[in-house]
Structure 1
Amino acid sequence: MSPSFQTILAALQRHGVEFAVVGGVAAVLHGAPVTTFDLDTLVRVDEKNADRLLAAFDEINARYRGHAPPLKPVREDILAGKHLLLMTDAGPLDVLGFIGRDDRYEDLCTRFETVRLEGVDFSILGLDELIRQKRAMGREKDLIALRLLEAVKREREGE
Structure 2
Amino acid sequence: MLNRYREIFSSLERNRVKYLVIGGIAAVYHGVPRATFDLDILIEATPENASRLLKALEEAQMGTAALISPEELLRHEIVVFKDLIRSKRASGRPRDLADVRILEEA
TM-score, normalised by the number of residues in structure 2: 0.83
* Offset of residue 34 of structure 1: 1.8
* Offset of residue 121 of structure 1: 2.8
Say if 1:52 and 1:37 are closer, same or farther in 2 by CA, change over 3 A: same
What residue is the counterpart of 1:6 in the other structure?
A: 6
Residue 103 of structure 2 is aligned to residue 129 of structure 1: no
What residue is the counterpart of 1:146 in the other structure?
A: 100
SS of 1:125's equivalent in the other structure is coil
Amino acid at match of 1:29: Y
User: Which runs of structure 1 show a deviation greater than 6 angstroms over 4 or more consecutive aligned residues?
Assistant: none
Once the two structures are aligned, what percentage of the paired residues are identical?
40
Residue 72 of structure 2 is aligned to residue 117 of structure 1: yes
* Offset of residue 44 of structure 1: 0.7
Amino acid at match of 1:140: P
Write the deviation string for residues 51-94 of structure 1: whole angstroms up to 9, x where unpaired.
Answer: 21121021023xxxxxxxxxxxxxxxxxxxxxxxxxx2247xxx
1:35-54, aligned counterparts within 5 Å? 35-54=35-54
Higher normalized strand content (fraction of residues):
1
* Offset of residue 3 of structure 1: 4.5
What residue is the counterpart of 1:58 in the other structure?
A: 58
What residue is the counterpart of 1:110 in the other structure?
A: none
Structure 1, unpaired ranges of 5+: 62-87, 92-114, 153-159
> In 1, are the aligned partners of 2:8 and 2:57 still within 8 Å (CA)?
no
TM-score, normalised by the number of residues in structure 1: 0.57
Write the deviation string for residues 100-137 of structure 1: whole angstroms up to 9, x where unpaired.
Answer: xxxxxxxxxxxxxxx9617x832111011100110111
Amino acid at match of 1:127: F
Residue 56 of structure 2 is aligned to residue 89 of structure 1: no
What residue is the counterpart of 1:83 in the other structure?
A: none
How many equivalent residue pairs?
102
* Offset of residue 2 of structure 1: 3.8
> In 1, are the aligned partners of 2:3 and 2:37 still within 8 Å (CA)?
no
Structure 2, unpaired ranges of 5+: none
CA RMSD of aligned residues (A): 2.1
Distance 1:149 1:2 in 2: 23
* Offset of residue 27 of structure 1: 1.0
